[in-house]
């Protein structure tokens, strides 16, 4: 059965993933987890835990270690790389790393056009992606004329235009003012895609992701409901995770 149409197939399956860089630094020591279709999961952990290394394995930027990664049932390997990179959309921390065309429309169209889409079908794809992030009226604006928060939303649209299986967000709330932070949260909660959010913003993880993974020293140290993990003072201390002063995850209200 085609994994895309099989609702029981996990969006993401990571099994025994280990990886060492050429200089000998071992970043991952055997990572195992599964994310079901439609889940929103936060990936937490201190600097140096291996989060970036893990993310770069999800669409084949890094390969060659032990273990396996599958996306909607497809192995992340050379034979499937083009499809994997369509299905795993990564939104970088700095939107300017993703926006390089003269207009918003051209940035959002770039990926689908490179994949062969053209004409009315391409324009419909662009319009749909911009509408999903509330940026349709800025279609013909130069990205550098937008605010930072608006550019981040356009960066999300460039990924959504590829109709991914998984949306991977790297520190999505960084450098956002409170209003932009809330607007992005509303957008992410409205999307019908699997979300893996890499973040140090623990209240944002609690707001958006019912489940969290704690990656520490190259292994999954904890996997469970975000509210329970953040309320475990011993776990937080052991893995150098700190909540903002005065923030109590037990009394905070998580968005469903």
Residue 244 lies in a domain: no
Residue 62 lies in a domain: yes
The whole model's pTM is what? 0.90
Q: What is the pLDDT along the chain (256 residues), one digit of tens a residue?
A: 344 445 678 999 999 999 999 999 999 999 999 999 999 999 999 988 999 999 999 988 998 789 999 999 999 999 999 999 999 999 999 999 999 999 999 999 999 999 999 999 999 999 999 999 999 999 999 999 999 999 999 999 999 999 999 999 999 999 999 999 999 999 999 999 999 999 999 999 999 999 999 999 999 999 999 999 999 999 999 999 998 887 888 777 555 5
Q: Where residue 231 sits, what CATH number does that domain have?
A: 3.40.50.300
Q: Domain containing 218: what range?
A: 12-238
Residue 108 lies in a domain: yes
Residue 204 lies in a domain: yes
Nearest residue to 75 (alpha-carbon basis) of 179, 153, 3, 147? 3
Report yes or no: 51 and 198 within 8 Å, Cβ to Cβ. Answer: yes
Number of domains in the chain: 1
Residue 247 lies in a domain: no
Residue 256 lies in a domain: no
The edge-to-edge listing of strands for the beta sheet with 74-75 is 26-35, 12-20, 66-71, 74-75
Nearest residue to 219 (alpha-carbon basis) of 66, 54, 4? 54
Residue 224 lies in a domain: yes
Residue 3 lies in a domain: no
């Amino acid at each position: 059965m085609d994994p895309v149409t099989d609702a029981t197939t996990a969006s993401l399956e990571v099994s025994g993933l280990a990886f060492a860089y050429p200089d000998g630094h071992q970043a991952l020591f055997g990572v195992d987890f599964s994310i079901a279709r439609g889940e929103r999961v936060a990936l937490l952990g201190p600097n140096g835990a291996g989060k970036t290394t893990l993310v770069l394995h999800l669409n084949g930027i890094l390969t060659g270690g032990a273990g396996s990664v599958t996306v909607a049932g497809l192995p992340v390997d050379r034979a499937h790389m083009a499809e994997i990179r369509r299905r795993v959309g990564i939104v970088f921390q700095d939107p300017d790393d993703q926006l390089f065309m003269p207009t918003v429309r051209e940035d959002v169209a770039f990926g689908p056009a490179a994949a062969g889409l053209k004409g009315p079908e391409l324009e419909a794809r662009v319009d749909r992606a911009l509408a999903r992030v509330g940026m349709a009226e800025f279609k013909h604006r130069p990205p550098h004329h937008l605010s930072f928060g608006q550019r981040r939303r356009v960066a999300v649209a460039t990924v959504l235009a590829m109709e991914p299986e998984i949306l991977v967000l790297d520190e999505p709330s960084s450098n956002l003012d409170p209003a932009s932070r809330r607007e992005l949260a509303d957008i992410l909660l409205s999307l019908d895609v699997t979300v893996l959010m890499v973040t140090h913003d623990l209240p944002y993880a609690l707001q958006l992701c019912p489940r969290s993974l704690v990656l520490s020293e190259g292994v999954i140290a904890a996997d469970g409901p975000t509210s329970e993990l953040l309320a475990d003072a011993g776990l937080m201390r052991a893995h150098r995770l700190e909540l903002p002063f005065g923030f109590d995850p037990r009394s905070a209200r998580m968005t469903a």
